[in-house]
Amino acid sequence: MPRRSMPAGVPLLSRRALNRATIARQLLTDRARVPALDAVRRLVGLQGQVPTAPYVGLWSRVAGFGRDDLTGLLSRREVVRATTLRGTLHVIASDDHRWLRPLLQPLMVRLQRQFMGRATAGVDPAELVAYAAELLAREPLSRTRLRELLARRWPERDRSALLHSVQYLLPLVHLPPAGTWGGRVDGPCGLAEGWLEPPPDPESRVVLVRRYLAAFGPAGVPDVQAWSGLTRLAEVVEPLRGELRVFRDEQGRELFDLPDAERPDPDVPVPPRLLPEYDNLLLSHADRTRVLGDAERRRVITPAVAATVLVDGFVAGTWTLARRGDAATLEVRPFRPLAAADRDALTEEARRLLAFAAPDLPDQTVRVAEPGP
């Protein structure tokens, strides 16, 4: 969307103001006292490449959250693990998946052509999808088994490209115990239409924009596109201009927001938080500086996305959890020296996370390293 000249009187939102608004909507100012399913809906899903990540993401956001809460939602088909936003794995409410996945189909087609088109040249995508759907209609299959069967049908083509093409083009879900804490990495996959209820009447891209702003706003059109993977959303936002609040950031970029959305005072305190790998807080804006500075970004996104530490609402380090025998060690690696109060609060938060993540290991240690390059 071309840069608009801002009319006089458009309110300015500082970096801290954007940070506090986004942190609050991501349930990170105070843990929300809501059911886990409500939190998943509010967040429009959580990144799910790493099976444990949605569990840690919800633990950091929902008061009293336990592992069985999410595992139960997956087992009862109230949430699913599936390829959705940006063509990546998400854990998302099933009723959201039913309308969102068809809306994202143009993105899936584009990604398949971009990343797998050359390796699958000569394979009719419609035939590939139909064959995979026929296989999966008979029984759920692991990705390894599905890849083998696709390779038998198209032996001259790259088998991994065939599998990834199916994952893009055909709505699939990872069936429990796949995607659960401690579940199999290569667990069974099945057809979304066989696992979930039929989709309702299709929702519009307007709904997608509004849901995004509720979870990640205030934001500009490039931000919505970065989060969803869809393009040409300016044509969706522009007709909504009269229904939205309009702001500008410190660089003069135009931002939109829902009229009644929360925008806390920039000085509201935010306690230290530990976020999992690939958390959507870090991936859902074209301009990520509201939470992740440019210098920190180079240390967090490599292109894998590390588990991160928030101090005062901004990324201030990374963390890792290592298990060895009966011992578990959670190590925090700050990017800069921490004030004593922040260090103490962060250490206590890390102890709570370690107890959540490794309750079966009696020897638990939290280590806060000295800041390094």
Q: How confident is the model at residue 270 (pLDDT cuts 50, 70, 90)?
A: very high
What is the predicted pLDDT for the residue at 372?
A: 72
What is the predicted pLDDT for the residue at 37?
A: 98
What percent of the chain has pLDDT above 70?
A: 96
| 194: nearest Cα among 176, 178, 171 | 171
What is the predicted pLDDT for the residue at 349?
A: 98
What is the predicted pLDDT for the residue at 191?
A: 95
What is the predicted pLDDT for the residue at 337?
A: 95
Q: Rounded mean pLDDT of 266-274?
A: 97
Q: What is the pLDDT of residues 210-248, one digit of tens each?
A: 999 999 999 999 999 999 999 999 999 999 999 999 999
Hey, how many other C-beta atoms are within 10 angstroms of the C-beta on 372? Answer: 9
Distance CA 251, CA 12 (A): 10
Q: What is the mean pLDDT of the chain?
A: 94
What is the predicted pLDDT for the residue at 265?
A: 96
CB 175 within 8 A of CB 131: no
What is the predicted pLDDT for the residue at 6?
A: 63
Q: Is the peptide bond before 218 cis (omega within 30 degrees of 0)?
A: yes
CB 364 within 8 A of CB 354: yes
- First-to-last CA distance in the chain? 37
| 140: nearest Cα among 184, 99, 97 | 184
Hey, how many other C-beta atoms are within 10 angstroms of the C-beta on 35? Answer: 14
Q: What is the pLDDT of residues 297-336, one digit of tens each?
A: 999 999 899 999 999 999 999 999 999 999 999 999 999 9
Q: Is the pTM of this model over 0.85?
A: yes
What is the predicted pLDDT for the residue at 9?
A: 83
- Phi/psi at 81 (5° precision): -105, 115
CB 245 within 8 A of CB 3: no
